[in-house]
Structures are given as structure tokens and as C-alpha cells.
Chain A
């Protein structure tokens, strides 16, 4: 498709389970961002890739969160030993080159519920 694709759309996990969230950015987009959005809040930055390089991971809340983009295209956000506070919508966004004046194109997000 032409847009950013995320899967799964919904994920229910039991506390302590590991989850993997996938993002397929727009073809040719160099920059890829992951954001976490809690209910009633704005998107909070998690991590940023330029091609396969993870340039900033300062927003990852703990070492249970890990992201990769090995071939500079598809990215996976992995959360180990999920906790209830991890419940949120995880949004992926891409942009062409990552310039500050570029618009972000978002995927529909993955809604994670940890029980």
C-alpha cells in the first residue's frame, strides 16, 4: 500500500508476556519514528531511525523496550515482560529524509492492552 502499515492493529497480552509490533513505512522513507500514546495524551517519542541506524532511543521507558530496523525499511518494536503500564497505542511514523520541516506520515497504530 501507499501508506505506513502497522500490525497487529490490536494486541492483548498477559502481564509478563513479550510482544512484537511491526511497522512498514512508506517505501523510500529514510526516517522512522516510534511514539507511544496513552489515552487522553499526545504521542510521546520513543525512538528514531535513519535508515538502519537508531539515532535516538532516549524515549524508551525501560530496558524492556527494544527497537530495530535491520534493513532500513521494516521496523519492529519489542516489549519484553509486559506490564500494565505499557498499555497504550504505539504509533509508527515515517518521513522522507527526516528534516525538521517535514511532515510525518503515521500508521494506524497498534493498541496494546496488558491484562
Chain B
């Protein structure tokens, strides 16, 4: 079982839609959580950190549920430019950030 699990998708949504991704992690020692975005044939780039109280950055909202060990990412008013793979990351006591396999999002006109 992988330490960080994500539904690979793809999620195929129209412009303007709201879409949500979930991610679960198995290492209860994990302390820090992130969402990275990876465009096709490009390197991953940080989208946002995930805080215990939940946090928002424009159209993006991240939530953390420590009891259930899952993280979510909500994207409102999807744009064509949001099409990418979204990688969930958990970082624990070993200081090694562990990545999920990514969830593919395709936003169509």
C-alpha cells in the first residue's frame, strides 16, 4: 500500500465547474502537507501548503482532516489553464516528502 494515495482520474470537467480531489496518507507521523501542480512534461511546482485549519488561495481551497488522514483540494470556477496533474504530498518525521501518483484534471470548453 502506498503511503500517499490519490485517485488518478482523469477528472474531465467543463470550464466554470467546481472540482474536488481527495488524497489519503498512511503515515500518522506526517506533519506537513502540500499540493503540487505538474504540467505535462514539466517539473512539479508548489500550488499550496495545507494547514490544519484549512486555507484558501483564490479559487483554490485545501483542507486537512488528521483524524481520517486525508487531504482535499477544491478548485472553483475551473479554467482551461487549470488542466494539469495535481500531486498530493505528505512530509513526516523522516523529512522526506512523499508524493502521491497524482490526479489528472482536464478542463474543456
* Chain A 33-72 residues near chain B, CB threshold 8 A: 33, 35, 40-45, 48, 56
Nearest CB in chain A to that of B99: its residue: A42
Pairwise interchain contact B101-A45, C-beta atoms closer than 8 A: no
Q: Chain A contacts of B95 at CB under 8 A?
A: 31, 48, 98-100
Pairwise interchain contact A100-B92, C-beta atoms closer than 8 A: yes
Tell me the number of A-to-B contacts counted with CB atoms below 8 Å: 55
Q: What separation, in Å, do the CA atoms of A40 and B101 have in the docked complex?
A: 7
Against A, the Cβ 8 Å flags (1 = close, 0 = not) of B45-73 are 11001000000000000000000000000
Interface size on B, residues (CB 8 A): 25
Pairwise interchain contact B101-A41, C-beta atoms closer than 8 A: yes
Interface-side segment among A12-20, A78-86, A101-109? A101-109
| Interface of A: prevailing SS | loop
**Which 4 A-B residue pairings sit nearest by Cβ, starting from the closest?**
A106-B43, A42-B99, A42-B101, A101-B32
Q: Give the A-binding residues of B (Cβ under 8 A).
A: 4, 6, 8, 31-32, 34, 42-46, 49, 87, 91-102
Q: Give the B-binding residues of A (Cβ under 8 A).
A: 31, 33, 35, 40-45, 48, 56, 91, 98-101, 103-104, 106-109
